[in-house]
Amino acid sequence: MHDDRTLSRRTLLSATAVAAAAVSATALPAHARPYPRPAAPRAGRLRRIVSRMTLEEKVGQLFVMRVYGHSATAPDRADIDANLAEIGVRTAAELISTYHVGGIIYFGWAHNTRDPRQIAALSNGIQDAGLAQRSAVPLLIATDQEHGAVARVGKPATLLPGAMALGASRSPADAREAARIAGAELAAMGINQNYAPDADVNVNPANPVIGVRSFGADPAAVAALVAEQIEGYRSAGIATTAKHFPGHGDTSVDSHYALPTIHHTHAQWTALDAPPFRAAIAAGTASIMTAHIVVPALDPSEDPATLSRPIVTGILREQLGYDGLVITDALDMKGVREKYGDDRVPVLALKAGVDQLLNPPNLRLARDAVLAAVRGGELSVRRIEESVLRVLALKERLGLFRDPYVPVADVDRTVGSRAHLTAADRIADATTTLLVNEGGLLPLSPDRQRSLLVVGADVASPSGTTGPPVAVLAAALTEAGFTTTALVTGTAPAQARIDEAVAASRGKGAVVVATYNVSASSTQRALVGALAATGVPVVTVALRNPYDIAQLSGVTASLATYSWTDVEVRAAARVIAGQVRPRGRLPVPVQRADDPARVLHPIGHGLTY
């Protein structure tokens, strides 16, 4: 892995700094407008609601929590047991009545997202529980539906190209339309807040946590697409969350497992990391999520940004002028837990200027710590009420006090509709990027290369309901008129499996290899090399990061899809078969493997035929 001060310094910081410094609200589409503030009578109404709350109810509004189960009141036995073990309650309804939480976050692994009708019913049950409280406050219901590499809701919902794929298409209209479709489907299921779009500028190819979740490495392009997505989600009535402030794009450490440090100077941060967040604020993002990262140039104390008053209040609130909702990244991540205990983290986040505390590992401990800090004078009631008002104001803007429910019977009309699926394919067709095409191999023809071998990595779908990609790719090429044989070789093929692939390639017109995050030590390199040595043309399809091509030799043609979900894999198959022309262009540079200071393929590279 590269040190997070190396690649970006040599090849990216100086190249983008001048252009990025000019990015401001003037770069936004003309139609982007901030979310409207509540009118004075409404603001007065919200203050009256707060005045009637107990301290426990006020503090509860500041927490967004996970909960297991497909139902708010009748989850499966295993989910009841998990809730009792981790939270001390049996159901979502009990969680809300006990802790008065202001929001719930949905996860697939928590069994919240089985199918659209079930999700809508769960959302209605959660709102029932919220309105049954003495304070009768509806809930924010959120999830991470970024699309691409991160999606909590799978089929039959529409799965769209993710951020870096949209960056490759360079289409503001497609970015906005993808968000509108995603937002309409979330809204139909009762999910009113999406923790998207990702506003990080990914300038480090070794970044293990952001990567294709970013729109790219050009801050001006990222800023423009962030603004478009905010507009698209808002048009569907969904609250957006620009993340991860102050910018997680230049790390080689995953903040889920450790605390990363970003070594940008203040000037570099201003030029590279700040523009998408400025654009998000100008576009009216409903909320901004903090990152569990250390940026010494912004806060010499080296506290995580989530817990840093100089960053959250000094920069985000005062310097950038953001007065909307600020939410932490998940508080069960190691990045925010390394320096302080779980009882101090929520208190320090609130002191830093954060409004909402996402998914603490121990809710009772976190809640009680905040209550103790208020009763002991470390946090004032006024400070708590300031954040509660921001939470309620967002709920008011979303119309939740008026009607928080969704009609379950109508879900199927919107979620996974034919129009949405058709649009997803159309958008994906503009994202596939052709990086190499020696001798004009592509497009393949059923007349010239009738028989194909499709091999490579089969990776789990982000939502658990798509793929596997080798099978999807083979099926799409079969539908295009080829005779295909599929062989899964995995992300770390052993020599026996490589030999099997070489044997299977005999007599084939071409071999299509699906690669996944190829590193210098990956045996995927040996697989591709062995196949290329047979003389059969090799076409590689990078299923995630577009940097794979730098590690591969002997490749005749190579494409980048930026994700392994069905919609992007099928789009790559259409390019291979010549059903659509490749139009995507790299939104990040690809460095040479043997000399990372030199660029193999620059931003904007993309072949066609």
> Shortest CA distance to 149 belongs to which of 607, 567, 578?
567
Q: 481 and 335 in one domain?
A: no
Q: 105 and 25 in one domain?
A: yes
Q: 141 and 197 in one domain?
A: yes
Residue 60 lies in a domain: yes
Q: 526 and 410 in one domain?
A: no
Sheet holding 538-542: strands in order across?
Answer: 433-437, 557-560, 538-542, 510-515, 451-456, 483-488
Task: Report pLDDT for 465.
Answer: 67
How many Å apart are CA 145 and CA 153, to the nearest integer? 7
Residue 421 lies in a domain: no
Residue 501, classified by CB atoms within 10 Å of its CB into exposed (0-12), middle (13-18) or buried (19+), is buried
User: Average pLDDT in the 27-40 region?
Assistant: 39
**Looking at the chain, how many residues does it have?**
609
Task: Report pLDDT for 514.
Answer: 98
Structure confidence at residue 26 as a pLDDT band (50, 70, 90) = very low
DSSP letter at 180 equals: H
Q: 323 and 444 in one domain?
A: no
Domain CATH code at residue 590: 3.40.50.1700
Q: 453 and 316 in one domain?
A: no
Residue 424 lies in a domain: no
DSSP letter at 156 equals: T
Structure confidence at residue 43 as a pLDDT band (50, 70, 90) = confident
Structure confidence at residue 459 as a pLDDT band (50, 70, 90) = confident
Question: Which position has the higher pLDDT, 14 or 374?
Answer: 374
User: Average pLDDT in the 403-414 region?
Assistant: 95
Structure confidence at residue 393 as a pLDDT band (50, 70, 90) = very high
* Residue 338 phi, psi (nearest 5): -70, -35
What is the token pair recorded at 280? 């998000």
Residue type for 80, please? I
Residue 309 lies in a domain: yes
Question: Last residue of a domain, which of 414, 443, 478?
Answer: 414
| pLDDT at 87 exceeding the cut of 80 | yes
Q: 333 and 222 in one domain?
A: yes
User: Average pLDDT in the 6-32 region?
Assistant: 36
| 485-513 pLDDT, tens digit each | 999 999 999 999 999 999 999 999 999 99
Residue 132 lies in a domain: yes
| 189-218 pLDDT, tens digit each | 999 999 999 999 999 999 999 999 999 999
How many Å apart are CA 453 and CA 538, to the nearest integer? 10
| pLDDT at 19 exceeding the cut of 70 | no
Q: 527 and 388 in one domain?
A: no
Q: 533 and 559 in one domain?
A: yes
Q: 96 and 30 in one domain?
A: yes
Q: 364 and 440 in one domain?
A: no
Q: Are 425 and 570 in contact (CB under 8 A)?
A: yes
Which are the catalytic amino acids?
A: 256, 329
What is the token pair recorded at 415? 């979620």
| pLDDT at 35 exceeding the cut of 80 | no
Task: Report pLDDT for 460.
Answer: 75
Residue 426 lies in a domain: no
Task: Report pLDDT for 542.
Answer: 98
| pLDDT at 13 exceeding the cut of 50 | no
Q: In terms of residue numbers, what domain contains 494?
A: 432-601
Q: 303 and 373 in one domain?
A: yes
Structure confidence at residue 443 as a pLDDT band (50, 70, 90) = very high
How many Å apart are CA 276 and CA 282, to the nearest integer? 10
Domain CATH code at residue 253: 3.20.20.300
Task: Report pLDDT for 268.
Answer: 97
| pLDDT at 171 exceeding the cut of 60 | yes
What's the structural domain count of the chain? 2
**H or E segment to which residue 326 belongs:** strand 325-327
Residue 2 lies in a domain: no
Structure confidence at residue 237 as a pLDDT band (50, 70, 90) = very high
In the chain the first and final C-alpha atoms are separated, in Å, by 35
pTM: 0.92
| pLDDT at 9 exceeding the cut of 90 | no
| pLDDT at 178 exceeding the cut of 50 | yes
Q: Are 550 and 523 in contact (CB under 8 A)?
A: no
Task: Report pLDDT for 356.
Answer: 98
| 300-349 pLDDT, tens digit each | 999 999 999 999 999 999 999 999 999 999 999 999 999 999 999 999 99
Residue 214 lies in a domain: yes
